[in-house]
Amino acid sequence: MSNSKQAINPEKGYVALLGWSLNAVEAADTFDRRYVVVAPEWAEDYCKEHDIPYVAWNFERLNDRSMEIAETLKDMGVDVSIPLFEETVEWAGAINSVLMDKPRLFGQAMLLRDKALMKRRAQLGGIRVGIFEEAHDRDDVIRFLKRVNQTLLKLEGDPDDPIHLKAFDKAGCLGHRVIRTPDEVDTIPDEEFPVLMESHLDGWEFAVEAWIHNGKIAFLNISEYVTLGYSVFVPATPDLEKYREQIREQIELLIKTFDIEFGFVHPEYFVTSDGTMYFGEVAYRPPGFKVFELLERSYGFNAYQGLILAFDPKTTDEEIKAFFPKEVVDAKNYAGCFGVYPRRRVVSRLEIPTETEDHSYFESHELTPPLEETVTKRTAFGTHWGLVYFQGDDAYTMRDLLKQQEELDFYV
Amino acid sequence: MGHVPAMVDPVSDERLKLRCKRLDAALDELTRASRVAHLSKVPRVLDAARQVLGEPGGPLALRRRIVSLTEAGIFRGSDWDYPENLVPTLARQALTSRDPATVVIEVLSLLRLLSVVEDDYPGANVGVEQSREHLVRVLALNLSILYGIQGEAVREQGEKLAAVSRGSLQFILEQLGFDQVVDALIAEIWRILEQRPIQVAPVREMITQIARCLQDPEQDLGASGRGAERLVSSLYGPTRACGEDPGLATYAERLRAMDAVGLQGEVMGLARSMHDTGLVSPYHAVAISHLLESDDRAILLPDILGLSSTGRDCLLCYQSLVQTLIREAIYPDTCQSIYGLALLLERGILYQPPVAPGLWRQLKVRLAPQARERLRLTFGEALPPETHLVAGVLSVLGQPLGIGQGNNPTCQSARALSMWAYNDPDYLLQMVIWAARDDEIVMHFEGEGISSRGETELVRPLLGFDLDPVSLVVVPHLDRIYSQMMARCVGRAEDPHCWVNPEFHGWWTGRGFQINVDVATGKLANLEDFLRHFFASYHPYYNGVQPLIHPQPAGIAVTDSAARFIGWHAITILRVALDQHDDMRVYFYNPNNDGGQDWGDGTVVSTGGCGERYGESSLSFAEFASRLYIFHFDPLEPGEPEAVDGPMIDDCAARVRRTWAVDRLPAPLSEPSERSVG
């Protein structure tokens, strides 16, 4: 174990990480930029114990005191702040608008934080999106469900196409529900409103991670979902990679539409059978499903350090060029992960299935023993209990293997 | 290392290689991790190690990597990082855990000690001998894992994980050699038997395991295993007529065919074996039943119980009662109570007027469904629950200090039962009747009746049923009453034990009360004065050479072998007396099943060899005082506090401050309560 920090390059920027992520901290700690962690008080003990530069801050809603943290970081000489979680995106916008004296960064962040606003802006920019609307109560949902299906020329009695409900400002699958019939509308609790409603797109959903420097794409990864909410791997299969050029054009359009100069975007798209791309949503922070960790396993570069490079205003083009590998061809192998949900109602212990353990692609897992025996019934998509990592040479074996995990019990 | 793995089939060899590759990758990541993320890389290594350990040849593969793992910091930040402080008795809990990481880290810790033994690995901070001793004791205490005779535990843990524990222990056993382990096991059994527990099931299990090994022709024990025969025979063949373990029916036939001299020999043999080990053989129950039907019973009963003149006299006075007790309660399944009966007679407590009629009532009592159910769940249905309860009463009255709390956090209730059996046997009989017949006990607190059926928020279900029949029936009631008494003292300025202890345990508990912890802050308070009063009340040199009259409840700050505070615990002070070296010792009762514990800072609780009677624990007076935090005394007999030597007090106070109170000097901590360890 190395205890010494990497030598700091004084020519380079000083970055603030907003939110606590151990992997991000470790990346920063072993990189050549000065850094500081801005996180809630519960992180303080760990930071002190491990000699990690730290400023305490509770990321609740933006309020009158928001300027305080921006001023603090400015006084410290910080050049830029980097959001690590959805909840810190607007804070990064607000802070960076002060640090860099660019007020529009705050407006941009608000746009990237609200799914309804985001879709409108995308539509204005000429990006293709599905039908969407905001709902304030259950009646709105029923109306939307009916209208979407009328648009699809369904007859009375035909099975309806589902619609999707998402919270405005939550990451990924949190609060994501699928509604198929008006009956199901009653299951939505009051506190989930207002929500964004979207028509269902019968396409292939995938995600993109793009690092942006000086308004240009520095590295573009396509993440292939095997089953949404369960599993993802990188790089994608050749079947999906064949759309790379089209996808690159879409990302360039996104960068232009949202006026993004630097940093990192994580959008989701659908591609339909005729090759049309539909924009789903975009986040201005690392993906929740650990794609950064997968990229390191596959390509060998540290995606968090890439994030620091992409945000630091003092990064040069040469640095960017030297840091990022060439997409797909430089990948050593395929890396994927699977999110485990307990399949039984009552579980007593963690036991990795023999099928999984015996497969040469299996690498490791982050599952912990169950704390309670009764498994809470899943509403919406919920959160998985931990990830299982795989690595191997063949994309299709990876895809099938990840699919296969859905049929196995990790908690018995 | 000299260990050559047996021929392995190619498939499992392939599996092992794959898993070793994973382990090496994880280990590499841990080695490279910065200080920031070191801890987060440990789980992956432990899981990879688990996979390796589950394969044939896996423990050897791990043994080869243990130095790299240790040096990469696999133990950092955990208790296992201090091998010099690890306690062999705690290994079992880890090895049977449902948490794979806990199992694996324990196994790795054992393999690290093995590398000390085999290669003199210096990185573990422990010596070769200490390591060997630790490993041997762990193996001895976990033979049931080694031989896969756990049943329920395996079900809980899962076969895959159980195989990890089993395979690893087997590997270590092969490396060390079986003969070494047997000797340690025998020593462990004798150490426990010396304390004469009522619950002997775990000891029986260990002896049974030894018996199996002795019979296994493949085990060459060589010179070791001395003393094993004596233990095995005490259960399976204590005398000539049952030496080859012929079965109970055959033995009964042999007894019927025996002449008077032969029978006399059998009877003496059984008694000798029983008093030698404290264990009773089921053959003993067969013989005692046989005697009851024979014409010589009046002559032979005292002999088969091994009674001295005191017990003999008592038996003669109460022949009919004793014979009825034997008839009702003594069967091969309850044979252990013969020992209780013998000691009951020796104690002479039948001469206390209420005891004999109390026992007659016990013989007739019909149990409430709740008591019946609890006994049935634990002891099965072969005998009526009433039989088990009478047998249990005999044990408790004969061996008051043999009561243990099992795996339950109920030290106060176990202590109260023991104190009553010791000091107030007819009161104990009354308690048993109330609990067993009425399913309700009512005690009084400051004039107010408190029912064991009363509402209390602090009801803790019994965790384990590893209790004697009396505890099983009475403890749940006592625990509820105790909780309610404690609840009524909430908000008072002093520690609740000040009022609860005398009301709960009995009038003889001193109404004077001393505590050296400030209730509000948890900080050490009043220490020197506390110690001075303790010496003056209890130490014969300062209290006017007055031996302790009644047993007194007291509170102990229990520490581990590194002298770190673990929790508060209830004990009974029984006697203060000089040992054979003229050192003043405190003899006390610890309800915690095994009184012999290393409390760190040189304080090791003795259970034999320093003048202890069976079941007593002891420490030198100063050592005891250094762990004491609560005691009661008679305010009318305060002794001479001012006469106590200053240096002696200073020595005790220093021990307190450098052990359990080390964190209690400046900053406030949690409110003390005896309940936290119990």
CB A38 within 8 A of CB A16: yes
Closest CA to B292 of B317, B324, B266, B262: B324
DSSP string for B458-480: T----S---S-HHHHHHHHHHHH
By Cβ distance, the residue of B25, B36, B99 closest to A50 is B36
By Cβ distance, the residue of A2, A350, A369 closest to B34 is A2
Nearest-Cα residue of chain A relative to residue B12:
A358
Which tokens belong to B157? 């843990």
Q: How far is CA B648 from CA A3, A269, B614, B639, in A?
A: 47, 80, 30, 17
Q: Does residue B485 register a pLDDT over 90?
A: yes
Which pLDDT belongs to residue A116? 84
Which tokens belong to B77? 């930040």
Q: To which H or E segment does residue B323 belong?
A: helix B319-329
Which pLDDT belongs to residue B542? 93
CA gap A60, A62 in Å, rounded: 6
Burial class (CB in 10 A: 0-12, 13-18, 19+), B401: buried
Please indicate whether, in this complex, the C-beta atoms of B161 and A351 are within 8 angstroms of each other. yes
Q: To which H or E segment does residue A234 belong?
A: strand A231-234
CA gap B141, B188 in Å, rounded: 8
Complex prediction ipTM: 0.81
Please indicate whether, in this complex, the C-beta atoms of A52 and B72 are within 8 angstroms of each other. no
Interface subset of A 334-363, CB within 8 angstroms of B: 348-352, 357-358, 360, 362-363
Q: Where are the domains of chain A?
A: 14-112, 132-199, 207-332, 336-405
**A173 vs B: CB within 8 A:** no
CB B381 within 8 A of CB B341: no
For residue B14, the chain A residues in CB contact (below 8 A) are: none
Which pLDDT belongs to residue B551? 97
Strand partners, B577: B585
Which pLDDT belongs to residue B673? 43
The architecture in CATH of the region A14-112 reads 3-Layer(aba) Sandwich (3.40)
Nearest-Cα residue of chain A relative to residue B34:
A2
Closest CA to A169 of A192, A136, A141: A192
| Minimal CA separation from B511 to chain A, in Å | 45
Query: In the CATH scheme, what is the code of domain A132-199?
Result: 3.30.1490
Using 50, 70 and 90 to split pLDDT, how confident is the model at A1?
A: very low
Q: Does residue B516 register a pLDDT over 70?
A: yes
Q: To which H or E segment does residue B164 belong?
A: helix B159-176
Using 50, 70 and 90 to split pLDDT, how confident is the model at A376?
A: low
Q: Does residue B24 register a pLDDT over 70?
A: yes
**A103 vs B: CB within 8 A:** no
Q: Does residue B678 register a pLDDT over 90?
A: no
Q: At B611, which amino acid appears?
A: G
The per-residue pLDDT of chain B, averaged, comes to 89
CB A284 within 8 A of CB A171: no
Which pLDDT belongs to residue B98? 86
For residue A365, the chain B residues in CB contact (below 8 A) are: 47
Per-residue 3-state assignment (H helix, E strand, C coil) for B624-654: HHCCEEEEEECCCCCCCHHHCCHHHHHHHHH
| Minimal CA separation from A295 to chain B, in Å | 16
Mean pLDDT of A203-209: 90
Q: How big, in percent rounded to 5, are the helix, strand and coil portions of chain A? A: 35, 25, 40
CA gap B403, B416 in Å, rounded: 10
B128-137, B347-356, B477-486: the lowest-pLDDT one: B128-137
CA gap A109, A113 in Å, rounded: 6
Please indicate whether, in this complex, the C-beta atoms of B34 and A26 are within 8 angstroms of each other. yes
By Cβ distance, the residue of B37, B73, B98 closest to A349 is B98
pLDDT in tens, B200-238: 887 887 788 788 777 766 666 666 667 788 899 999 999
Closest CA to B97 of B87, B89, B106, B88: B106
Closest CA to B600 of B650, B531, B647, B658: B658
Please indicate whether, in this complex, the C-beta atoms of A1 and B98 are within 8 angstroms of each other. no
Which pLDDT belongs to residue B8? 55
Please indicate whether, in this complex, the C-beta atoms of A22 and B43 are within 8 angstroms of each other. no
**A388 vs B: CB within 8 A:** no
Which pLDDT belongs to residue A381? 52
The more confidently predicted of residues B236 and B182 is B236
Please indicate whether, in this complex, the C-beta atoms of A2 and B157 are within 8 angstroms of each other. no
Mean pLDDT of A10-27: 94
Which residue reads 């003889």 in tokens?
B508
Please indicate whether, in this complex, the C-beta atoms of B34 and A362 are within 8 angstroms of each other. no
Using 50, 70 and 90 to split pLDDT, how confident is the model at B4?
A: very low
Which pLDDT belongs to residue A154? 63
For residue A351, the chain B residues in CB contact (below 8 A) are: 158, 160-161
DSSP string for B540-560: TTTTTS----S-EEEEEEEE-
Using 50, 70 and 90 to split pLDDT, how confident is the model at B676?
A: very low
**Residue B303 contacts by C-beta under 8 Å, 6 or more apart in sequence?**
B264, B267, B268, B271
For residue A22, the chain B residues in CB contact (below 8 A) are: 36-37, 40
pLDDT in tens, B73-107: 999 988 899 888 888 888 988 998 889 999 999 99
B164-178, B261-275, B428-442: the lowest-pLDDT one: B164-178
Please indicate whether, in this complex, the C-beta atoms of A348 and B18 are within 8 angstroms of each other. no
**Three-class DSSP category at B596:** coil
For residues A370, A375, A379, A384, the Cα torsion angle rounded to the nearest 10 degrees is 20
By Cβ distance, the residue of A50, A349, A363 closest to B35 is A50
| Minimal CA separation from A62 to chain B, in Å | 30
Strand partners, A35: A15
Which pLDDT belongs to residue B458? 54
Which pLDDT belongs to residue B626? 96
Q: Does residue A121 register a pLDDT over 50?
A: yes
| Minimal CA separation from B15 to chain A, in Å | 7
CA gap B15, B52 in Å, rounded: 9
| Minimal CA separation from B96 to chain A, in Å | 13
For residue A24, the chain B residues in CB contact (below 8 A) are: none
CA gap B350, A407 in Å, rounded: 69
**Three-class DSSP category at A156:** coil
B57-61, B128-132, B165-169, B464-468: the lowest-pLDDT one: B464-468
Which pLDDT belongs to residue B222? 63
For residue B30, the chain A residues in CB contact (below 8 A) are: 1
For residue B609, the 8-state DSSP code is: S
Which pLDDT belongs to residue A299? 97
Please indicate whether, in this complex, the C-beta atoms of A29 and B36 are within 8 angstroms of each other. yes
Of B38-42, B267-271, B595-599, which one has max mean pLDDT? B267-271
Which pLDDT belongs to residue A184? 84
Q: Does residue B554 register a pLDDT over 60?
A: yes
Mean pLDDT of A388-392: 96
A37-51, A155-169, B280-294, B479-493: the lowest-pLDDT one: A155-169
Closest CA to B514 of B560, B562, B555: B555
**A25 vs B: CB within 8 A:** yes
For residue A6, the 8-state DSSP code is: P
pLDDT in tens, B376-414: 988 999 999 999 999 999 999 999 999 988 767 788 999
Closest CA to B373 of B476, B443, B282: B476
Instruction: Give the count of alpha carbons within 13 A of A53, CB side only.
Output: 15
DSSP string for A76-112: HT--EEEE-SGGGHHHHHHHHHHHTT-THHHHHHHHH
- Number of Cβ within a 10 Å radius of residue B667: 9
Q: Does residue B610 register a pLDDT over 70?
A: yes
For residue B33, the chain A residues in CB contact (below 8 A) are: 1, 26
Please indicate whether, in this complex, the C-beta atoms of B35 and A3 are within 8 angstroms of each other. yes
Which residue reads 């990592």 in tokens?
A389
Which tokens belong to B117? 């033994």
CB A53 within 8 A of CB A73: no
Q: At B345, which amino acid appears?
A: L
CA gap A172, B662 in Å, rounded: 49
Which residue reads 């029986």 in tokens?
B204
Closest CA to B288 of B331, B256, B320: B331
For residues B290, B293, B295, B296, the Cα torsion angle rounded to the nearest 10 degrees is 40
Burial class (CB in 10 A: 0-12, 13-18, 19+), B269: buried
Q: Where are the domains of chain B?
A: 10-176, 192-236, 237-351, 354-488, 507-676
- Going by their DSSP bridges, the two strands A54-56 and A34-39 should be labelled as parallel
pLDDT in tens, A142-177: 888 888 877 766 666 667 778 888 877 765 555 678
Please indicate whether, in this complex, the C-beta atoms of A3 and B43 are within 8 angstroms of each other. no
CB B393 within 8 A of CB B359: yes
Nearest-Cα residue of chain A relative to residue B43:
A366
Give CA B622 to chain center in angstroms. 24
pLDDT in tens, B613-649: 999 999 999 999 999 999 999 999 988 899 998 999 9
Task: Give the CA diameter of chain A.
Answer: 69
**Three-class DSSP category at B671:** coil
Q: To which H or E segment does residue A288 belong?
A: none
pLDDT in tens, A216-265: 999 999 999 998 778 999 999 999 999 999 999 999 999 999 999 999 99
| Minimal CA separation from B46 to chain A, in Å | 10
Which pLDDT belongs to residue A3? 45
Which pLDDT belongs to residue B617? 95
Nearest-Cα residue of chain A relative to residue B74:
A1
Of A61-70, B129-138, B360-369, which one has max mean pLDDT? B360-369
B50-54, B202-206, B463-467, B583-587: the lowest-pLDDT one: B463-467
Please indicate whether, in this complex, the C-beta atoms of A360 and B22 are within 8 angstroms of each other. no
Of A109-123, A131-145, B101-115, which one has max mean pLDDT? B101-115
B202-206, B239-243, B366-370, B507-511: the lowest-pLDDT one: B202-206
**Three-class DSSP category at B189:** helix
For residue B674, the 8-state DSSP code is: G
**Three-class DSSP category at A349:** coil
Please indicate whether, in this complex, the C-beta atoms of A366 and B43 are within 8 angstroms of each other. yes
Which pLDDT belongs to residue B12? 81
For residue A31, the 8-state DSSP code is: S
By Cβ distance, the residue of B32, B44, B101 closest to A364 is B44
The more confidently predicted of residues A96 and B561 is A96
Please indicate whether, in this complex, the C-beta atoms of A348 and B98 are within 8 angstroms of each other. yes
pLDDT in tens, A284-335: 999 988 999 999 999 999 999 999 999 999 999 999 999 999 999 999 999 9
CB B552 within 8 A of CB B631: yes
By Cβ distance, the residue of B36, B37, B47 closest to A365 is B47
Please indicate whether, in this complex, the C-beta atoms of B30 and A1 are within 8 angstroms of each other. yes
Ramachandran region of residue A386, left (φ > 0), alpha (ψ -120 to 50) or beta? left
CA gap B307, B322 in Å, rounded: 13
Which pLDDT belongs to residue A171? 59
| Minimal CA separation from A109 to chain B, in Å | 30
Q: Which residues of B touch A (CB under 8 A)?
A: 15, 18-19, 22, 25-26, 30-38, 40, 43-44, 47-48, 51, 72-73, 98-101, 156-158, 160-161
Q: Does residue B459 register a pLDDT over 80?
A: no
Interface subset of A 124-163, CB within 8 angstroms of B: none
Query: In the CATH scheme, what is the code of domain A207-332?
Result: 3.30.470.20
CA gap B65, B52 in Å, rounded: 11
Please indicate whether, in this complex, the C-beta atoms of A366 and B48 are within 8 angstroms of each other. no
Which pLDDT belongs to residue A165? 84
Q: Does residue B547 register a pLDDT over 50?
A: yes
Q: At B402, which amino acid appears?
A: G
**A45 vs B: CB within 8 A:** no
**A26 vs B: CB within 8 A:** yes
By Cβ distance, the residue of A348, A350, A364 closest to B100 is A350
A197-206, B106-115, B395-404, B523-532: the lowest-pLDDT one: A197-206
Please indicate whether, in this complex, the C-beta atoms of B37 and A363 are within 8 angstroms of each other. no
Instruction: Give the count of alpha carbons within 13 A of A100, CB side only.
Output: 24
Question: What is the percent of chain A with per-residue pLDDT over 90, rounded to a whole number?
Answer: 59
By Cβ distance, the residue of A2, A23, A358 closest to B15 is A358
Strand partners, A165: A177, A197
CB B607 within 8 A of CB B595: yes
Per-residue 3-state assignment (H helix, E strand, C coil) for B208-224: HHHHHHHHCCCCCCCCC
